[in-house]
Chains A and B, each alone.
Chain A
């Protein structure tokens, strides 16, 4: 036997089944010589796998730290040999990635910006995240379990969708009609059971499961905002990160990036007839004229020598001042927020209510060149406690869903349809999720107060509690392949049994869409320590283009 053939048929001992090693990751390709060996031995390893690692875990959250390997097994062998490959790297990201340990000071940033300003930009992607604070009950919506017992199932019937084989509950008729325009991930899971920690995990990837008053890490929105502004070259005067309104502002922040990267928040109800955004456009003609006068006066008085400006500090300030002046006086920037410019039929399609007009505004903003938009679906439209936190003590789970889902179904389906209709589907990624799902097993408790979707105090009513072990997220646009279902939860919706994806994967997918190299990019915290924007996550394969 020549050496060459020897190499092709290496004996097994050098290359045992990779699943023996828990630290082994799925995309490490095979030793080329071992691929055949693997294919041969695959069958003999199968029993071992199913015995040693149960495909479905009942241990829940604890288990999720070491996700079950089932996904890896089922996706063999193609995905094993497949490699994500280098992502499109922008120069600035490369620099940060490669000199990860070096600090990037403000002057450094400005320098980097100035350098990058000259380089041509590839098409920039945008993202709209629709946030459901409190968490949507997955089993009552996108992941129905019609065969589960009545303690789990809930009262809603299932309906077929445009995609054969995919079913939703009857609460989502409009979503069902356009199920070919989005992909749902039924195997989302994370490890934090409280609203603060769960939200922080989803937003920033913080693995800490304890609830903290404030996030330790910046959320993905501010990270993206920060990286994008560092990249420079954006001429649009509109802020690049807008919250309509900001999503869970109490549990998310720009942390060590500083408030400069916090969202521009639109907190007013866009459905109000006299809806207004402060600081975007001035209310009346006289005010605008006065500001113009003031600006002119300042221009003539602001004569401070600029020769000392080596670090571009004054330059940066000038830039922001010009942007602020434009925002205040330029009618075009106001237009981006002016929903009266929309066709009334479109406004109706989204729903003439707060959520509908919020999402319409979000769409208008990405169209006007804003790159990061989040929208929080909360408030009275949710029911008594004004969010999705459907504990029995808060509100009647099923009444609450009946109460709010028509609004939800209408506005989310309208947004997705609209994104495709306007040809924004390659550029704009729409993500809908909350921090977790709701407990599949229904619990009963006494209402703590009456209100929309809640009985009088003391009424025994059903509810569902926090459930991070399995939940569903929705993805549309962004050029992804749609009409799919990724992953699965078990027959009761309690645990993920296929293709588990955690918060890091969620973040990685978002960053990937924005063209940010999540595996390498680090940002220094206040101690100068480089912190990875995603730790050990991987863009969800079915959502990557």
Chain B
């Protein structure tokens, strides 16, 4: 725009009349139009390999040269026709003058249309001489507080290398990172919806991205804030105050014990634990409960289950069993010993030797290709999804293809020697210069951390150690944040950044100060995982009730109340076993082995329960592989599957024992409630359950059933009803 104005003024000075427009350039003027119209969207002409109907553009126009080639030269130049520019296929297709599967993308009356036509008429120049380069884009406002259901126009400015800038709002693309909270129109008008909290609107233009952070306050009075237990409360409560969402009160003791046992130990508290905890009158009993759980093997089991799944401890063949067990045991032992996280990651990343001598080598058994290694490491430990950049510039990020191969170079010197065990290699560092070939340009690239200059690594040094060094630097912008965000999500259901492993400038955290403070705590504690869990579990934020008040029911991301989580497949199975006093048998494992301590995915196959409730197959580095959504099959399973039925009626199970024992039914009901929900039944619940237990029962022929049997059946029914309630299925 400014360029045009400058030019116009020159024109005016020269007293030349009518239009004299500055020559157009593909890079500067045409590419943004194509991007805005969506021509180079992944679903359209940027579709991999063939594009759409043979016309292929680069994803979101990150490769202008290729696109220029495609438009001007490919297809024997049929797509543009300078003698009659409006007859160019590019124009007639885009404006749907001839049939276009993609529909009408270009209005013949629009400025874009005229620009395209003029560009063709001018002979389709790629760039103009001395054309400035786009340096960055800025969005105004970049941080704003907007009331629910209001709107705000954004303004996007492009800044060029020659110091000039222009308003590109019309050509920029806008996208909110949470469509339930805000939406942005094509022209850059942001509309907030009725949900309060923080939302980001990503702005893209010419391969550059920027973000506008929006706070949508609820505006309710927040007068009575709870005391702050630690820095987590400080940041969460400050945010709650800012957005005006009053928090729920602290939850009661039983709820807390159940919650923290499930979150740290992956199990329900035992009957004795619950009784002791409820009876304990000391003020530090919650902290002590956290401590006890952190020191219990249950903690190591539960988190080893989480980590080995992400680290793909998968049984593909029966012979993998040694590797599976060794890796799982190694992970569990290290968690129990509280090995610092950076150390843990270093041992996996830079592992050498055989699995038997050094179990983390198992990771290299499963993750064999250097592309997968890069992608897994980036996503799991850095929270950066690099997959896209293998083939093209990352569409939402600053990562180029080159950065991908710089990172891949760290894994270029991994040597493998077959061992006596089929499929298992001995891993060693292969002497040589670490480098990796850029897929498109073929240039050999040296190792470099993300956003870092390339490193010169001596041929004798294992580049993976250099990678681990870079990751564990305190100032590394990804490593600590990725972990604390992942753990935050584990406890709070929702990450400060969502998805939890997608950290990028255009996906801002809902509470940036909190994320920074957590990362700082983590690095300051020398990557102490237990300390991180301790600080989370001790915070009042974590101990808030799941019950909402009149204002905060609407909140989904400010943590004003606890967000209930569904129990995972393993935890649910163990919990049902505990409630019904039964066992699940897993082949070749000692009887009584809990689902949470299963070393690998192979046991899922034999357990319809684990399968139907979504235990992951350890095939993905993403936690999303664990499907946590409800399904019809799950409901059917809980209600009527034979394995669940068998647990209810188990010999020596809770139903049988209670029915046979002399304890009054009220006592039996109390026991069930304390086990399943870690609380006493309410008076109403007690009377409903008692009535049910004492009701005489008839069989199908309406003949009364023997009272002993009837009582046992009634207990079975009660257990059935309890494990089928939401209160049981959720951690709340």
Q: What is the interface of chain A, defined by CB distance below 8 A to chain B?
A: 3, 6-7, 10, 14-16, 18, 20-21, 23-25, 27-29, 31-34, 82-86, 97-103, 105-108, 111, 213, 239, 256, 258-260, 262, 264, 279, 282, 284-286, 289-291, 293-294, 297-298, 300-305, 307-308, 310-311, 313-314, 316-317, 320-321, 323-325, 327-328, 519-520, 522, 526-530, 532, 535-536
Contacts and interface: CB of A to CB of B under 8 A. Distances in A.
Contact of A259 (B56, B627, B628, B692): B627
Given A28-B54, A286-B700, A317 B630 contact: yes
Given A107-B180, A305-B546, A313-B566, A101 B396 contact: yes
Contacts of B53: 25, 27-28
B48 interface: yes
A29 B84 contact: no
B74 interface: yes
Contacts of B385: 527-528
Contact of B639 (A285, A291, A528): A291
Given A239-B632, A297-B718, A529-B387, A31 B101 contact: no
A270 B644 CA distance: 26
B319 to A, nearest CB: 14
A532 B627 CA distance: 21
Contacts of B99: 29, 82-83, 85
B81 interface: yes
B41 A100 contact: yes
A163 B673 CA distance: 72
Contacts of A520: 43-44
Nearest to A324: B635
Interface in B200-257: none
B316 A213 contact: yes
Q: By CB atoms of chain B within 10 A, which of A6, A25, A284, A321 has the most?
A: A321
Contact of A97 (B43, B554, B632): B43
7 contacts: A15-B78, A32-B87, A301-B688, A301-B689, A304-B732, A310-B553, A532-B47
Nearest to B627: A258
A444 to B, nearest CB: 35
B721 A298 contact: yes
A33 B639 contact: no
Interface string B284-321: 00000000000000000000000000000000100000
B127 interface: no
Given A15-B78, A308-B563, A519-B101, A530 B629 contact: no
Contacts of A321: 635, 639, 724
Contacts of A279: 636, 640-641
Nearest to A28: B53
A152 to B, nearest CB: 35
A33 B87 contact: yes
Given A6-B84, A106-B629, A300-B688, A84 B101 contact: yes
In the A-B complex, the 6 residue pairs with the closest CB atoms: A83-B99, A260-B631, A258-B627, A324-B635, A286-B700, A298-B721
B622 A526 contact: yes
B76 A260 contact: no
B175 A99 contact: yes
Interface in B18-55: 38, 41-44, 47-50, 52-55
B724 A530 contact: no
A325 B639 contact: yes
B49 A290 contact: no
A260 B633 contact: yes
Nearest to B55: A28
B418 interface: no
A31 to B, nearest CB: 6
B561 to A, nearest CB: 7
B84 to A, nearest CB: 5
Contact of A24 (B54, B92, B631, B641): B54
A301 B100 contact: no
Given A14-B81, A27-B53, A308-B563, A101 B42 contact: yes
Contact of A293 (B50, B77, B100, B717): B717
A20 B75 CA distance: 8
Contacts of B646: none
B574 interface: no
B534 interface: no
B614 A259 contact: yes
Contacts of A314: 726
Given A23-B54, A86-B101, A100-B41, A297 B721 contact: yes
Contacts of A528: 385, 499, 502, 622
Contacts of B650: none
Contacts of A305: 546-548
Contacts of A14: 76-78, 81
Given A100-B43, A317-B635, A532-B47, A298 B725 contact: yes
Contacts of A256: 620, 625
A108 to B, nearest CB: 7
B250 to A, nearest CB: 16
A108 B700 contact: no
Contacts of B630: 260, 313, 316-317, 320
A259 B699 CA distance: 37
Contact of A301 (B43, B611, B722): B722
Contacts of B553: 307-308, 310
Contact of A7 (B84, B100, B554, B721): B84
A20 B76 contact: yes
Contact of A320 (B76, B87, B179, B632): B632
Contacts of A320: 630-632, 634-635
